[in-house]
Structure 1
Amino acid sequence: MSVMNKLRDATGRDWLRRTIQLAAGGWLAWTFTTQGLSDADSLSSVLALVIGLLSHAIQNPPPKQPLAKVLPLLRADVKRYWSEERKRRGLHRKPLISVTLTDASPTPAPLLLDYGLWDVKEYAERAADLLAGGKLPSKAVISGEAGTGKTTFAVLLTYGLAKSDGYVPLYLPLASWSPRDEAFTAWFERQVLTTFPRLREVEATPEPLLRDLLNSDKVLLILDGLDELRDGQAQESALHQINACIDDDMPLLLLTRACPALPLLHDAVPLRLKLLDSPDVAHYLDMMTAVIISDPQVPLHERVAWLTIHSHLTSGTCAPLTHLLSRPLYLDLLIRTGLRNPSLAVQFLNAVSHGVEAAKKVLYASFVDDVLDARSLSDRRARLARCLAVRMATEMSKPPVARTMAWWRLYARVPPAAFGVAMAPLTAPAYQLCLLMPAGLTRGFALGTVTGVVLGVCRGVDTRAPAGVAAAVAGSAAAVMTVGAFWVGWDVAAVDTVEIAPVVGFVFWGRRILVSGTWHDWRTWRDIALATAAAASASALMTCGTAAVLAPRADPPRSLLGVFMAVCMGLVVATVSARLLTSPAAELHPATASFQPRGNPLPHLVAATTAAAAVGVAGGFVGGVSRGAIHGLHVGLFFGAVAGPGIGLAGGLIRWLNQPGPQPTATAQRLYRRDRWLAVLSVVGVAAGATAGLAVLDLLAPEFLQSLSDGSFTAGPLDGILFGATIGIIVASFNTAWPSYAVCMAWFTVRHRVPWSLLRYLDVLHTCGILRQEGPLYSFRDEGLQLHLAE
């Protein structure tokens, strides 16, 4: 696709979005004008404008630059990221035992990298020199058995290259890719843009970003862990996709376990990592444990055990022991743990006599105990960290099996019923706010608001399960009955429950219908219309029947047409607003906003507040149709004064803080803090602005508030908090992943006693060496360790 075609598509999408906004506004105006329903759903239109205006306020794309200008900055980002990561992984400890790298041809070949004991700096420099000196081909497949140090070599090669003037290395673990569900180029862009936001500044070209980077001859792609895709067919599909996307002369290193059945990577040189020789292992063990053997305070039987291990390695008389310790992973586990706990040698020798697997279990168990003790954690924190590691390993071992974990994807491990139960605290403020609104407005506002919350918070969740639908109905019903019984009496609350709760359950069940499809397809609109009409018809019949029995003279009166229109407006406007703000069918992802305070915030606040104050026009128009021009003018001024500052404050601050500027590489902690910050800003900004508007009206013109209705309208400044708890939460749920994450963490905390401060404990497990962090993703350092913890 050419650049002009891309620009033409962008213009077309913008034109389509504005056309839909105008069409939705025209349809609402025609409905209110021709039908003249006093109980029509006015605040649903307000909701649509609020979300639409704030979506424009948040959008502030950074300026684009040629790739050549971005690459030096990208190198600095990569170097900074891996400088931090090598310390967090403990690679700065001395000495490191290097891998033995050689050609994979059957005939004997000279070693590219031989056994050595180096610090992290020397290891990284030697690995980078292999590529700079031409010994290591720029396109190769490096294979080796489990535990031979493939990942350590790839990481230190990345770090060494980032410090040099050669290639800019991009290291990506393949464990997070599902070749059957996602194309290689799409997965690559998602991963690299999340970890290195700097690449979002690159100018678009007809080629995918992957090919642009590799065509520059300045970027080396390092893909680690093809074997971690587990399924042989997935590995074959992955190789076919990589071959189709990458030309023969493009630089690429692929690391995997040896598998002769897999197809070859085009024009790639096969290399392999050799197992350590027994004399080399014995030399390393002797050097590292000399302090233990010479320490008279260490019990004699423990010193003898270390000497016995050394003797077995030298003589080669214990095959299980040689099999394990010829792999750097298990050698490192034995040495690092044994230096602090010399008795490990005794346990290890006893386990080796029962086989390799028994010895592995001893190493894994001792390692976990040792690293948690070494962190000097309190008993409670150590217990919670262990509990979290076990829970992660257990959940990631269940189908669908996962090798990586992202905090914003926890919804995949949470039953939909948990999100249904969450409707209780989310429905309550929306319903209470609708009860405070001027007379003549229906419960459609609550329906539209809760629909927006469901579509935003439940992105990625399969809400069609009967348990989830039932929980949503029960949760929203409990909220409406609890709030309504206090404010309007149990009989009216029961009628409202019949109107609101079943529709919330329907939205849960039919969420896919409301969010799937494209604007261009007429079937999308047909499905939304049919689903909405069915829900509205059923709700109208049940509501009117219940009202006739329980509250025949309640205000507002319930008519079939009025309830039908209220439900239709609530569902349709919330759905259209959701689609305008984001793609509800897209995968849930955290906000990537970069908060960079630059310059004077006043112009941003004034522009956003002025635009948001126009919301009052919609409220005034509907009020004028339903109750006369004077009432409409008052309602318009009310919403302009209350919604304008709220939306303007949130939108203006986000515009000011989200200006283009240098962006750090994304770790899980940075993404989480940024995402939570934006979510809180959305809620607090709307609430603060609405509270300020109500306070000004209450102070300067108290009689104005009374003129909005017959005296039943009693909103005060503190009720501005309800605006933040309704409109603000909708905005937050469509721009951030934090509301969904909060629901997940509430479930995990109650059900499995996982610590609420999940990221803090994940960081503890990372620095302990139990977990690895690749950008914003976490994985266990070894598949065997994950399986051990899951047992």
Structure 2
Amino acid sequence: MNDVAPRSRVRRAGTVYLVLFGGGVLGALLVAPRLDDPATVLAALLPTGAGAYLAWCAYRADRAEAAVDDPGGVADRLAIAVHRQWESEARVRRLAEPYPLPVSWRCAETDFATTAESDRLAGHGEELGALFTEHLPHRRLLVLGGPGAGKTVLLVRLLLALTERRNAGEPVPVLFPLASWNPADEELPAWMERRLVQDHADLAEAAPGPYGNTTLAGMLLERRLVLPVLDGFDELPARSGALALHHIAAALPYGCGLVLSSRPQEYLAALRPPTGVPARPADLAGIHLDPLDGRSVADYLVHDAGGAGTPAAERWTPVVTALGSTDTPVAQALTSPLMVSLARSVYNPRPDEGHGQLPDPADVLGPTTRAAVEHHLLDAFIPAAYRRHPRRPCRWTADQAFDTLRFLARHMEHGRDGAAEVAWWRLHHAAPAMLPRVLAGVLLGVLGWLAEGVTMELIHHFAPQLPAPARWDERGGLGVVAAGMCGGLAGGLVGGLTVTMLCAAAAGADVSAELVLRRLGNGGALALVGVIIAGFAYGRRPAPRRPSAWNRRALATGIVAASCYALAFGNACGTLHALLYGVTAAATVGDGPRSETAAPAARVRWHWSAGGVCLGLLGGTVLGGGVLIEGLLADVLSAGSDRMYIAPADPVAAAWAAGQVGAVFAVACLLLHALRTVPVDLGAAVDGRALLANDRRMMGTCVATAVTVGAAVIGTQGWCAALWGSTGVWGADPAEDRLWVFAVGLMPALLSGLAIGMRQVAWGRYAVARCYLTVWGRLPRDLMAFLADAHEQRGVLRRVGAVYQFRHIELQHRLTESPARPGPDRSTGGGGPSTGWGARDAREE
């Protein structure tokens, strides 16, 4: 759904405008020092702010006008994307090879659904699309079937038929796997809107004004231009079935199209809750899938093996004979399309594959019960999917694949996110929750220390007339702030400890207790600064808490930092603002908001709000005010000592220093509030590795944007400070060359951009989790390649929009319950199990 040429032209015009405006302002500032009265340049630039604001408003209005979409046109583009997605999935899963399984259905019992169309609901094969459009005027259908009865496959075939029959402007059938919905926490419309936005990123755009304050996805749902195909009602927890059915009936009342699939027992239990009034969706017709008959199954398996008379088909002769009787375990098991699909995958050769090394289909005659046959086929599926192929070599053995798939199945079923899906951007839930914060603190601490030191070294090298060369044992504070912005209090403290060790190492033999204590005090205070910035950045009014609800960890950090300052300086320098930051963090923002769990990013957009801007400025004022108060009281706090001051003792210099600190922190707060990522269009046929690459690019975009805006704002503020009498800007005296203040402004802007990108881009958390799980042997090194291979080549996984799911939920449950690997038959090259689960189940049953 990427098509908006007018929107692209408007965006390009806005970019050109911003570049020209920024370049003009920067050029004026560069020329000003060479004039007799530099202040006149600033006076001339001030009125341009109003014009720039009006131009920006006009640009936003043009974007909104270019974004106006007719709901029918949006639905038409969505229909194309949905049809392309599921047509590709059907091709990967070989649903039409050698021909679709002959599934038939009958009218569901009156306990499930009662409609006037009951007599016309029986059918088979490709008739469901015609039945739905021609015999169900309300377009509301319930599909019932037992485990492995082929409900999902039938829904895919129905969805493809409906998109082919659809006329312009009509509702679009969209498949929603219910396994990822928690009805206790989220209403159905909100969940469907979120899934649409996740799978089709263009639907995250704001809807035109007449349709209210919503996204295009919300607009389509409100206009009833989406036909929900809700798959897997039985996969919801049993305790929430009645509540889920109530939400479905309330969100999709009479007149709304609906397709719902479930096992009969789970749906009947939801219709008969132990307490409360049962919810029954109105005018919902129902069909019940019939078991396959033995003759059709035998013909299908023989035809898939190459047809009667071929060597591969002759191997099925004992099984075909057993299928003639309905009393045999194999005949009972192979009435399920799932089991037929598994038998075909295990025992029939794939294209360009011989049958000589395949297991014997007669193996399915050994188990003595239907359940044992089903377990045998499930156990044999993964070894069969990963067997050696002469033309499609696999990088993973069956044992390696089994271990990985079992871990994913268990994580999906018992993980913290509770979603029955494989989504790489949610993989961090499988790693320790503190690990990303700790690593972010280490990384940003090291980068901050290096960036500050290298920048000051370069300034001193290219402008030797400037005093104050870099002292490596005094650098790294801005990295600690960035670590606090990204990883909360824990990340900031780890960053502070990292910087302390680096400074101690840089001091070498000159390291002293005073240096260590001073760096620890800085680390604690600046970690609190990062927490406060993150807390103020999200547009929430930071209401004071009761003392009993204060965050004790933040308060303790402020007290410890103040104590370290007092021990280092022998006076009260630094203690005031450390305590101020500790109380502010403890009483208002706590430990900082958690990092976002966004999907992969498609692009970065600006998200301004008046409340967010005010809170950003307020945060910068509070943080800068601590430095100002410290400077004004410097003589009192130091008790006449000649030791180092945290802030300049001169009132004017203290005011400019507070302005510099406040400007840096306000810009960081505003950037953290304004830079938001938009999820990538995962509904398109995009490889997982391409998503990762695009997500990494968004990290670069965040950094580049923050550097451009931050360096300009911070550099301009420093230029003004130097112009009107400040004695120093971030450790450098710019009296001789004021242009270097813009280079100095790069440091906080760069680190802020990194912190923003690490918070919002999913790649960073995924990289941490993948490395951790790879080291512990839970996942392969190239997880993206493994998932793509398991979907496209092995048929173990299926792709639903943005995520992977196990092709069969029964396979996922079987892997979750399995204590060990299936034992492959080494004599046949790992083609089928001779010992292991299948043999054990057969003996036990």
> Normalising to structure 1: TM-score of the pair?
0.69
Structure 2 residue 456 is the aligned partner of structure 1 residue 430: no
Partner Cα separation in structure 2 for residue 243 and residue 645 of structure 1: 48
2:374 maps to 360
1:571-586 → structure 2 map (5 Å cutoff): 584=593
2:304 maps to 288
2:754 maps to 729
Structure 2 residue 437 is the aligned partner of structure 1 residue 412: no
1:494 maps to 516
Partner Cα separation in structure 2 for residue 783 and residue 110 of structure 1: 32
Query: How far apart are residue 228 of structure 1 and its match?
Result: 0.7
2:579 maps to 564
Which has the larger share of helix? 1
C-alpha change, 1:788 and 1:774, in structure 2 (3 Å) is same
Preserved CA contact (<8 Å) 1:532 1:568: no
Give the 3-state SS of the residue equivalent to 1:247 in structure 2. Answer: coil
1:698 maps to none
Query: How far apart are residue 161 of structure 1 and its match?
Result: 1.6
1:57-96 → structure 2 map (5 Å cutoff): 63-91=67-95, 93-96=97-100
> Bigger shift: 101-110 or 620-629?
620-629
Partner Cα separation in structure 1 for residue 173 and residue 220 of structure 2: 11
Partner Cα separation in structure 1 for residue 714 and residue 532 of structure 2: 35
Structure 2 residue 322 is the aligned partner of structure 1 residue 312: yes
Q: Give, as a single letter, the amino acid of the residue that structure 1 aligns with 2:445.
A: T
Give the 3-state SS of the residue equivalent to 2:253 in structure 1. Answer: coil
1:325 maps to 334
Give the 3-state SS of the residue equivalent to 2:316 in structure 1. Answer: helix
Preserved CA contact (<8 Å) 1:771 1:779: yes
Gaps of 5+ in 2: 1-52, 112-116, 272-279, 457-467, 606-616, 633-646, 716-724, 735-739, 819-845
C-alpha change, 1:728 and 1:306, in structure 2 (3 Å) is same
CA deviation vs aligned residue, 1:104-157 (integer Å, no higher than 9, x gap): 1379976756455xxxxxx4xx44322222268611211101111110111121
Give the 3-state SS of the residue equivalent to 1:270 in structure 2. Answer: strand
Give the 3-state SS of the residue equivalent to 2:324 in structure 1. Answer: helix
1:765 maps to 790
Partner Cα separation in structure 1 for residue 584 and residue 218 of structure 2: 46
Partner Cα separation in structure 2 for residue 395 and residue 709 of structure 1: 48
Give the 3-state SS of the residue equivalent to 1:588 in structure 2. Answer: coil
1:241 maps to 247
C-alpha change, 1:571 and 1:252, in structure 2 (3 Å) is same
For the aligned residue pairs, the C-alpha RMSD in angstroms reads 5.6
Q: Give, as a single letter, the amino acid of the residue that structure 1 aligns with 2:155.
A: A
Query: How far apart are residue 100 of structure 1 and its match?
Result: 1.0
Partner Cα separation in structure 2 for residue 99 and residue 292 of structure 1: 22
Which of 504, 519, 522 is the equivalent residue of 2:543?
522
Q: Give, as a single letter, the amino acid of the residue that structure 2 aligns with 1:726.
A: L
Q: Give, as a single letter, the amino acid of the residue that structure 1 aligns with 2:412.
A: M
Preserved CA contact (<8 Å) 1:675 1:736: yes
C-alpha change, 1:759 and 1:92, in structure 2 (3 Å) is farther
Partner Cα separation in structure 2 for residue 720 and residue 746 of structure 1: 34
Preserved CA contact (<8 Å) 1:321 1:352: no
Structure 2 residue 207 is the aligned partner of structure 1 residue 202: yes
C-alpha change, 1:620 and 1:266, in structure 2 (3 Å) is closer
Preserved CA contact (<8 Å) 2:201 2:681: no
Query: How far apart are residue 673 of structure 1 and its match?
Result: 4.2
Partner Cα separation in structure 2 for residue 710 and residue 738 of structure 1: 35
Partner Cα separation in structure 2 for residue 595 and residue 282 of structure 1: 55
1:232 maps to 238
Preserved CA contact (<8 Å) 2:415 2:430: no
C-alpha change, 1:354 and 1:543, in structure 2 (3 Å) is farther
Partner Cα separation in structure 1 for residue 381 and residue 98 of structure 2: 18
1:694-705 → structure 2 map (5 Å cutoff): none
2:830 maps to none
Partner Cα separation in structure 2 for residue 563 and residue 76 of structure 1: 58
Structure 2 residue 384 is the aligned partner of structure 1 residue 370: yes
Query: How far apart are residue 310 of structure 1 and its match?
Result: 0.3
Preserved CA contact (<8 Å) 2:292 2:337: yes
Partner Cα separation in structure 1 for residue 546 and residue 564 of structure 2: 26
Structure 2 residue 495 is the aligned partner of structure 1 residue 481: no
Partner Cα separation in structure 1 for residue 528 and residue 777 of structure 2: 30
Structure 2 residue 409 is the aligned partner of structure 1 residue 393: yes
Which is higher, the Rg of structure 1 or of structure 2? 2
Query: How far apart are residue 75 of structure 1 and its match?
Result: 1.7
Preserved CA contact (<8 Å) 1:685 1:724: no
2:485 maps to 452
C-alpha change, 1:407 and 1:207, in structure 2 (3 Å) is closer
Gaps of 5+ in 1: 1-52, 117-122, 456-462, 464-468, 597-611, 696-703
1:7-406 → structure 2 map (5 Å cutoff): 63-91=67-95, 93-105=97-109, 112=121, 114-116=123-125, 123=126, 126-134=127-135, 138-166=139-167, 167-200=171-204, 201-203=206-208, 204-205=211-212, 213=220, 216=223, 218-229=225-236, 231-259=237-265, 260-263=268-271, 264-291=280-307, 294-295=310-311, 305-318=315-328, 320-340=329-349, 342=355, 346=360, 349=363, 352-372=366-386, 373-374=388-389, 376-380=392-396, 385-398=401-414, 402-406=419-423
Partner Cα separation in structure 1 for residue 565 and residue 672 of structure 2: 39
Give the 3-state SS of the residue equivalent to 2:135 in structure 1. Answer: coil
CA deviation vs aligned residue, 1:331-356 (integer Å, no higher than 9, x gap): 01112332227576636535642433
Query: How far apart are residue 177 of structure 1 and its match?
Result: 0.4
Partner Cα separation in structure 1 for residue 586 and residue 544 of structure 2: 17
Structure 2 residue 565 is the aligned partner of structure 1 residue 544: yes
Partner Cα separation in structure 2 for residue 503 and residue 635 of structure 1: 17
C-alpha change, 1:213 and 1:619, in structure 2 (3 Å) is closer
Preserved CA contact (<8 Å) 1:215 1:250: no
Partner Cα separation in structure 1 for residue 217 and residue 698 of structure 2: 30
CA deviation vs aligned residue, 1:719-768 (integer Å, no higher than 9, x gap): 99965762122221343222222222232222235234333322221212
Preserved CA contact (<8 Å) 1:447 1:571: no
> Bigger shift: 752-761 or 183-192?
752-761
Q: Which has the higher contact order (CA 8 A, sep 6+)?
A: 1
CA deviation vs aligned residue, 1:563-607 (integer Å, no higher than 9, x gap): 33465688999x69x99xxxx4586212554489xxxxxxxxxxx
> Bigger shift: 769-778 or 161-170?
161-170
Partner Cα separation in structure 2 for residue 92 and residue 170 of structure 1: 21
Count how many residue pairs are aligned between Structure 1 and Structure 2: 672
Query: How far apart are residue 662 of structure 1 and its match?
Result: 10
